[in-house]
């Protein structure tokens, strides 16, 4: 028979608690492995304005956190978009409203917003008139799997999707 002292029990309980609260390293897969992305862009106007539409398609049975996520606890997990180009640019990103997900974790009920299936993120970028080079886009996502009862059963490590507009 194995006997554990109070310290051994505390270490085991801490390990169990942390394993429930951290992303799973599912064979090295990151969240971007569950999300496909496509981008459409208008021509750059004379004043440097360009409209961008980023379409994210989330694998069936998975979700990504919306922006805004609707919960301070999940703020670090929200979907983010950033742009870089040769010159200085300004960008305004419009994220669609997500679907509210309610989940019981332990004794606590949490609510947060998610994107499932397909979502289109709109952006307007203002580039210097002399900048006709490619626009680089990075989309940061955090993907989680939905179980049969609607609960979250697995979350992958954060991932980044890179796109380019010529």
Nearest to 41 by CA among 164, 140, 129: 164
Q: Which pLDDT score is estimated for 47?
A: 87
Distances in Å between the Cα of 86 and the Cα atoms of 39, 91, 134, 137 are 19, 14, 8, 13
Q: Is the pLDDT of residue 165 over 60?
A: yes
Average pLDDT, the chain: 84
Q: Is the pLDDT of residue 148 over 60?
A: yes
Q: Is the pLDDT of residue 81 over 80?
A: yes
Q: Which pLDDT score is estimated for 12?
A: 40
Q: Which pLDDT score is estimated for 2?
A: 46
Domains of the chain (ranges; CATH) run 26-165 (2.60.40.1250)
Q: Which pLDDT score is estimated for 160?
A: 97
DSSP state at residue 72: G
Please compute the mean of the pLDDT values over residues 118-122 and round it to a whole number: 98
Contact yes or no for 136/87 (Cβ under 8 A)? no
Please compute the mean of the pLDDT values over residues 63-67 and round it to a whole number: 98
Please state, in angstroms and rounded to a whole number, the distance separating the CA atoms of residues 157 and 29. 7
Q: What is the pLDDT of residues 9-49, one digit of tens each?
A: 443 433 333 333 344 445 568 999 999 999 999 998 888 89
Place of tokens 């990075």: 138
């Amino acid at each position: 028979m194995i006997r554990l002292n109070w310290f051994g029990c505390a270490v085991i309980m801490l390990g169990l608690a942390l394993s429930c609260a951290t992303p799973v390293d599912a064979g090295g897969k990151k969240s971007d492995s569950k999300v496909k992305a496509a981008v459409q862009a208008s021509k750059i106007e004379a004043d440097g304005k360009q409209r961008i539409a980023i379409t994210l398609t989330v694998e069936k049975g998975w979700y990504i956190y919306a922006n805004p996520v609707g919960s301070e606890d999940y703020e670090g997990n929200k979907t983010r978009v950033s742009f870089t180009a040769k010159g200085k640019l300004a960008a305004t990103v419009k994220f669609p409203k997500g679907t509210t997900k309610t989940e019981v974790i332990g004794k606590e009920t949490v609510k947060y917003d998610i994107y499932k299936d397909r979502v289109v993120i709109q952006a307007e970028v203002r580039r210097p008139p002399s900048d006709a080079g490619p626009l680089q886009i990075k989309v940061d996502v955090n993907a989680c799997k939905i179980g049969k009862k609607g609960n979250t059963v697995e979350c992958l490590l954060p991932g980044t999707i890179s796109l380019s507009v010529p």
